[in-house]
Amino acid sequence: MVRLSARLLALIPLAVGINLAMGKFASTLSLPVFLDTVGTVLVAALAGPGAAVLTGAVSQTVFTVVDGKLMWLAFMPIQLGVAVYAGLAARAGVFRSAWRAGAGGLGLGVLAATLSWPISLLLFGGVTASGVSLIATILTALHIPVAWAVYGASLATDLLDKTISFMLVFTILQSLPSRTVARFPLAARARGRA
């Protein structure tokens, strides 16, 4: 169980806000990604997997409320999986260099697609977000079985999305002033220098 300090209580709502604001940047730049886990991954690097799990859970709940689509709540396991993976990856030193962050992001992309695919297919017939649904529809039109079409569509978007997210968090961590890093005990270890 995570002990909620005042700093963590203040950080989590803002990290959720970052998750949703990054989505706004992605849509403004016309990028085919969501970037809606950047805040969760950042909290994982700054405060560990427990805090990231809480951020992921609140983020998915609030995203569901803001977007008005209850179906997003079914994808809670992805946010939680991302949080645990990112926390463990940060401990393993993934954010110490750019190539490690890229490789870690690719691993997370495979994990996220593998987690989201059965939820999307079994509960909603593979039709949820319009971009992913469009790719799945095109693949189905090419006579690829529905299950593989949905997995292929999820994998294509998640690999790109999570790799960019990890690289972005690596860049953010390296740019943080030492004074900020000193306030989060795990941050210095995550970015690999004092």
Partner 1 sequence: MIIGYVAGEGLLHRAHPFTSLTIAAGVTLLAFALPGTLSPWVLAGMLVVLAVAAGLTGAVVTTLVFSAPLWVFLGIIYGVFGTDWAVAAVYAGRISAILLAFLLALAAVHPGRLVDALVARRVSFAIAYLLAATLQAVPRLQHRAATILEAQRCRGLRTGGSPWRRIRSIVPLAIPLVQGALAEADDRAVALEVRGAVSGCARTPLSPPRDHLLDRVVRWGTVLVVLAAVVLRVVT
Q: Which residue ranges make up the site for partner 1 (CB under 8 A)?
A: 4-7, 9-18, 20-22, 24-26, 28-31, 35, 38, 42, 54, 58, 61-62, 64-71, 123-128, 130, 133-134, 136-137, 140-141, 143, 146, 149, 164, 168, 171-172, 175-177, 180, 183
Least Å distance, CB 12 to partner 1, is 6
* Cβ pair 157, 134 in contact under 8 A: no
Least Å distance, CB 104 to partner 1, is 17
| CA dist., res. 44 & res. 38, Å (int) | 10
**Type of residue found at 115:** L
Beta carbons within 8 Å of 185's beta carbon, 6+ residues apart? none
Nearer to partner 1, 64 or 114 (CB): 64
Least Å distance, CB 11 to partner 1, is 5
Least Å distance, CB 4 to partner 1, is 5
Structure tokens at 73: 């709540």
- What single string gives the DSSP state of each residue in 85-147? HHHHHHHTTGGGSHHHHHHHHHHHHHHHHHHHHHHHHHHHTT--SHHHHHHHHHHHHTT--HH
Nearer to partner 1, 79 or 128 (CB): 128
* Cβ pair 101, 166 in contact under 8 A: yes
Least Å distance, CB 99 to partner 1, is 17
Nearer to partner 1, 35 or 115 (CB): 35
Nearer to partner 1, 67 or 193 (CB): 67
